[in-house]
Structure 1
Amino acid sequence: MTTAFTFPGQGSQAVGMGKELADAFPEARDVFGEVDEALGEKLSAVMWEGPEETLTLTANAQPALMAVSVAVVRVLEARGYDLAAKASYLAGHSLGEYSAHCAAGTFSLADTARLLRIRGNAMQAAVPVGEGAMAAIIGLENDDVEFVCEAAAGETGGVCQIANDNGGGQLVISGGKAAVERAAALASDKGAKRALMLPVSAPFHSALMAPAAEAMREALSQVTINTPRVPVIANVTVAPVSAPADIVARLVEQVTGQVRWRETVEWFAGSGVTTLVEAGSGKVLTGLARRIDKALAGVAINGPADIEAFLQANA
């Protein structure tokens, strides 16, 4: 069995996430405490008590999701699971790429928390609220969605591009509000099963995020970057990265570039991976992987019971 660990992105957050881990394991409590200290506030209280609208804020959701993912990894390792020996690859969906790098030792936990707070704030600030949009397009091929994005951008003079290729016929587009709305309408005309505007606060993974990309270039220049102890697959290239300069370049490109998740899962399958372990909040990536390649086994680790079951199965 060849195993890869995956780490969820924004949308997987939920009030209460990580609380059972903290109650059951000192290593998890230490992770949440260190993240609180790094940010200078009790993010853990927001994670466990809400309100949901505060947790959902990009600047909170990003470090919070990372904290739960890293807590899972730290608990597993404290109980004898050697990530470096047993996991062949790591990958994360959007912000989850930072979780992967933290788990791999590329960044310290404190630096990862601060980087994600900066990333969340910068992404939110890049485009005034109401000027950007995202939409999910279900049931069209990649080439068709590329076509409607280009057509909508040409008609409106705005930005419109594929932000996420999540697999299973689900593509997410992002850009200026008028262009995305027009692309969604064109997608429906072209036979999409659904073209759904998403309740997001900014046009993530589009060219409009360029100011946030520059903010991350600056922030990443200020932290220590180590060679990952497990290869991390970059969202934008679907290839392992290990050199510090390459890691920075890929994370900067990721802010405006496409999250190529379908291709990432396909890359895993083609590289001999048989089991994908989703570490953190929710089961979104496990569900996506099932739709992309049914031959891949999927395991989601959210809480203490999941950890015990995983350790028993991998003793």
Structure 2
Amino acid sequence: MITLLAPGQGAQTPRMLAPWLKDPHRHRLVQNWSQRAGIDLIALGTTASKDEIARTENAQPLLVTAALLAGLPAIDALADAGQAHAAVSGHSVGELAAAALAGALDPADAVHLAAVRGRAMAAACAATTGSMAAVLGGDLQTVTEAIESAGLTVANHNGPGQVVAAGPIDAIEAFVAAPPVGTAARRLHVAGAFHSAAMQSATEVFAEAIASVPVRDADVPIVSNADGASVRNATSLRERLVEQITAPVRWDLCLETFRAADITSAICLPPAGTLAGIATRTLPSATVVRITSPRDIDRLSSTTKGRSDAAA
């Protein structure tokens, strides 16, 4: 089983679109997506600074664009080699890219929705004083209880021994200063308390936007970051994409689904950083393939074929 993984906010890197935009067709494609999204994705992906692309309203459509530029030709390359992908998944905003790669959303609509989502979440951040902290180590139940006792929310379950808390800045700072015994905590450089009730206003804006675009049943299962379930139904997918803005990312449950399905290859889309690292640590039986440039697409079928044949 081959799955494609699309990253979420925080994974962006400067010039991440540059290798892809050398191709005239892809350049025109991103120009069209920029017009649809109301944002200059070419400038963001080639000349913008690290601080510029870290802004929520910029990072989210940029990441979805990068995932699609790599994911669409990756799917074609696998099909040409007789190695069709069996599932897709995305972390947070990456789920929009996953939906497009599964055929449930038009790619231009996915980028547009990412831009709406990013702007709405940036506005929610400006209206609140929230932040987030990564918590490493410790027993999950003990860590969860400590986070909740501090008046915070568990926003991300990224894998074994790695969760993220969200909430008011003062509560985050107090938690980081005195984390649970046996753990380490550090404040993240983010604009607000993502995946918590602080993002409720963004949910309302996004719900209106996604109601105006077609959502189809997916061609392949989308492993949902809400609960690790495999989703294909259009109505369920639309609801999950709205609800996930204030709900925790359960990437740990996605990993459980991948392990249960005995995936042979995890193809990590640009910039192929954090998710590739998590997959390498938690999916030892799978080949983890990092896609960062068109050259990686050219090598894709040979990279995945050996492991797929061994599992046959």
Q: Where does structure 1 lack aligned partners over 5 or more consecutive residues? A: 154-159
Partner of 1:8: 7
1:184 maps to 2:184: no
1:60 deviation in Å?
1.1
1:211 maps to 2:201: yes
Partner of 1:286: 276
Alpha-carbon distance between aligned partners in 1 of 2:187 and 2:205, rounded to the nearest angstrom: 27
1:305 maps to 2:295: yes
The change in CA–CA distance for 1:82 and 1:180 in structure 2 (over 3 A counts) is: farther
Alpha-carbon distance between aligned partners in 2 of 1:245 and 1:82, rounded to the nearest angstrom: 31
Q: Deviations over 1:252-288 (max 9, x none)?
A: 1110111111221121111121211112223221101
- Determine if contact 1:27/1:78 at 8 Å carries over to the other structure: no
Question: RMSD of the alignment, in Å?
Answer: 2.1
The change in CA–CA distance for 1:80 and 1:267 in structure 2 (over 3 A counts) is: closer
Q: What is the number of equivalent residue pairs in this alignment?
A: 305
Alpha-carbon distance between aligned partners in 1 of 2:8 and 2:47, rounded to the nearest angstrom: 20
1:161 deviation in Å?
0.9
1:221 deviation in Å?
0.8
Say which SS state the counterpart of residue 19 (structure 1) adopts.
coil
- Determine if contact 1:210/1:256 at 8 Å carries over to the other structure: yes
Alpha-carbon distance between aligned partners in 2 of 1:43 and 1:299, rounded to the nearest angstrom: 25
1:144 deviation in Å?
1.6
Q: Deviations over 1:77-115 (max 9, x none)?
A: 455636996111100010110010011121112211111
1:31 deviation in Å?
3.3
- Determine if contact 1:7/1:97 at 8 Å carries over to the other structure: yes
Q: Which deviates the most, 79-88 or 90-99?
A: 79-88
Say which SS state the counterpart of residue 187 (structure 1) adopts.
coil
Amino acid at match of 2:8: G
Matches within 5 A, 1:96-111: 96-111=94-109
The change in CA–CA distance for 1:40 and 1:125 in structure 2 (over 3 A counts) is: closer
Alpha-carbon distance between aligned partners in 2 of 1:58 and 1:115, rounded to the nearest angstrom: 13
Q: Where does structure 2 lack aligned partners over 5 or more consecutive residues? A: 306-312
Partner of 2:310: none
Partner of 2:309: none
The change in CA–CA distance for 1:40 and 1:128 in structure 2 (over 3 A counts) is: closer
Q: Which deviates the most, 291-300 or 176-185?
A: 176-185
1:20 deviation in Å?
1.0
Partner of 2:247: 257
1:141 maps to 2:139: yes
TM-score computed with the length of structure 1 as normaliser: 0.90
Partner of 1:156: none
Alpha-carbon distance between aligned partners in 2 of 1:309 and 1:127, rounded to the nearest angstrom: 41
Alpha-carbon distance between aligned partners in 1 of 2:83 and 2:133, rounded to the nearest angstrom: 40
The change in CA–CA distance for 1:27 and 1:145 in structure 2 (over 3 A counts) is: farther
The change in CA–CA distance for 1:78 and 1:277 in structure 2 (over 3 A counts) is: closer
TM-score computed with the length of structure 2 as normaliser: 0.91
Alpha-carbon distance between aligned partners in 1 of 2:88 and 2:197, rounded to the nearest angstrom: 26
Give the one of 35, 41, 50 matched to 1:43. Answer: 41
Say which SS state the counterpart of residue 110 (structure 2) adopts.
helix
Q: Which deviates the most, 207-216 or 80-89?
A: 80-89
Give the one of 167, 174, 192 matched to 2:166. Answer: 174
- Determine if contact 1:31/1:70 at 8 Å carries over to the other structure: no
Say which SS state the counterpart of residue 157 (structure 2) adopts.
strand
Matches within 5 A, 1:21-32: 21-23=20-22, 25-32=23-30
Say which SS state the counterpart of residue 215 (structure 1) adopts.
helix
Alpha-carbon distance between aligned partners in 2 of 1:239 and 1:17, rounded to the nearest angstrom: 30
Amino acid at match of 1:18: L
Give the one of 111, 114, 132 matched to 1:113. Answer: 111
Say which SS state the counterpart of residue 70 (structure 1) adopts.
helix
Q: Which deviates the most, 6-15 or 79-88?
A: 79-88
- Determine if contact 1:166/1:262 at 8 Å carries over to the other structure: yes
Amino acid at match of 2:158: N
Alpha-carbon distance between aligned partners in 1 of 2:77 and 2:262, rounded to the nearest angstrom: 26
Q: Deviations over 1:199-239 (max 9, x none)?
A: 11011011111111121211111111111111101111210
